[in-house]
Amino acid sequence: MNEWNRLSAAEAARRIARRELTAEALMRSCLEHIAAREPAVLAFAHLDPDAALAQARALDAGPLRGLLHGLPLGVKDIFDTADQPTAYGSPIYAGHRPAADAAPVALARAAGAVIAGKTVTTEFANMTAGATRNPLNPAHSPGGSSSGSAAAVADFMLPLALGTQTAGSIIRPAACCGVVGFKPSFGRVPRAGVKPNAESMDVVGGFGRTVEDAALLAAVLLDDRRVLDEAPPDTLRLGLVQGPDWAQAEHDVRTCWDQAVGALAPKLARCEDAPLPADFADVAAVQAALQAHETARSLAHEYRVHAQRLSPALRALLEAGAAIDARQVELHRARAERWRRETEALFERYDVLLAPSAVDEAPEGLPFTGDPIFCRPWSLLGLPCVHLPFARAASGLPVGLQLVGRQGEDHRVLAAARRAMDWLA
């Protein structure tokens, strides 16, 4: 049996472009692996093999459509899809059929992607876990909220998958599953047709098994060839940001940090602790408060009409968010804007920042998807982030760190990530 499903997205795309591999053969290989592994991983909210193969055959019959031509793509189940149900991780919307694709799905289709299926999300991309298990150890969480997307890519079911992040929903599951997660700069990817959570922080991004794979998807989502064409730098000016909540990092993350700094420092033009704003200790609390407030407004209909069909945890979050008054929200937003300006100044001295991705390896048990505290600052500030999967905890589960870039310089942070992964190998 072939194992085309194990090809990287970039290599599969090259072979398809040379007509050495068909989209149908690649999709069949992925579907065979899904059939074998899905009962253990539970990555999919919806899967229609016949429809996926029909898409692939149609692509094989025509000219090359774009960068993603023939590549199977998983779509987190908070993205509307015209040909597949979209339930947003909630029984309220079971069987819901949107009339149109979300903008990122439409962009991916236009670039030749095969929409393979809808991947499991937590409830409305919040905290209540879905069914997905970590493919590396099914007793552990895959992270959230982009649970199924990260798990499907990690388990070689699909080469690429879409995700979203409001706090840590791309970077944390990438860390839990040991894949590359890319969160673009805020506002770079259209969100029409994506179920809103917190309007000032929601970002569409995705997962691949290599940085090159993530860049391939990013080039389509951002409409920016620079993320593929930017040459990896020969050296970097690296700012180290353990952050105000570093005390929460567990032993394996601390070991990973020391390993990375030890390997990277000799290659760098600059490697030092980056100074943070004096009151940055409050950043996670401010992000969490603003997210709760905005989510309460985004899910106002669901709370008003279907409150008893929401999980207790989500109801509590919405009630807490609704209780934050307008004056407090203004104060939080003013602090966030000041932090953005002060953090922007760091990139005069550093090309990228190195920061932790998660407090530990994937949590044991499925109900808790992990603490996003190390991702909250960068989500609040809207900065592009790339998770680097290069290390293992004592348990054998993956751990890693993230690179954080300057707002709008997504191409540079992805290029830096490619070089960093070479140095960390």
**pLDDT computed for residue 303 by the predictor:** 98
**pLDDT computed for residue 23 by the predictor:** 98
Q: Which of 29, 76, 147, 379 is catalytic?
A: 76
Q: Which of 145, 146, 147, 298 is catalytic?
A: 145
Q: Give the tens place of pLDDT for each residue, 294-348.
A: 999 999 999 999 999 999 999 999 999 999 999 999 999 999 999 999 999 999 9
**pLDDT computed for residue 330 by the predictor:** 98
CB atoms within 10 A of CB 422: 11
Q: Which of 169, 185, 357, 379 is catalytic?
A: 169
Average confidence (pLDDT) over 252-256: 98
Q: Which strands sit side by side in the sheet containing 385-392, from one edge to the other?
A: 44-47, 114-119, 72-76, 160-165, 203-208, 180-183, 385-392, 398-404, 352-356, 237-240, 270-273
* Residue whose entry in the numeric block shows the structure tokens 């190195």: 354
**pLDDT computed for residue 128 by the predictor:** 96
Residues of the chain above pLDDT 90, percent: 100
- 185: annotated active-site residue: no
Q: Give the tens place of pLDDT for each residue, 276-290.
A: 999 999 999 999 999
* 136 and 177 Cβ atoms separated by less than 8 Å: yes
**pLDDT computed for residue 169 by the predictor:** 98
* 127 and 314 Cβ atoms separated by less than 8 Å: yes
Q: Give the tens place of pLDDT for each residue, 74-98.
A: 999 999 999 999 999 999 999 999 9
* 167 and 376 Cβ atoms separated by less than 8 Å: yes
Measure the CA–CA gap between 192 and 172, rounded to whole angstroms. Answer: 24
> What's the whole-number average pLDDT of the chain?
98
**pLDDT computed for residue 343 by the predictor:** 98
- 145: annotated active-site residue: yes
Domains of the chain, each with CATH number or no CATH: 4-229 (3.90.1300.10)
Q: Give the tens place of pLDDT for each residue, 158-198.
A: 999 999 999 999 999 999 999 999 999 999 999 999 999 99
Inter-axis angle of helices 147-154 and 23-41, to 10 degrees? 120
Q: Give the tens place of pLDDT for each residue, 192-248.
A: 999 999 999 999 999 999 999 999 999 999 999 999 999 999 999 999 999 999 999
Average confidence (pLDDT) over 372-390: 98
* Residue whose entry in the numeric block shows the structure tokens 């509307």: 80
- 118: annotated active-site residue: no
Q: Does the model's pTM come out above 0.85?
A: yes
* 205 and 164 Cβ atoms separated by less than 8 Å: yes
pLDDT category of residue 1 using cuts at 50, 70 and 90: low
**pLDDT computed for residue 2 by the predictor:** 84
Is it the case that residue 369 has pLDDT exceeding 70? Answer: yes
* 211 and 174 Cβ atoms separated by less than 8 Å: no
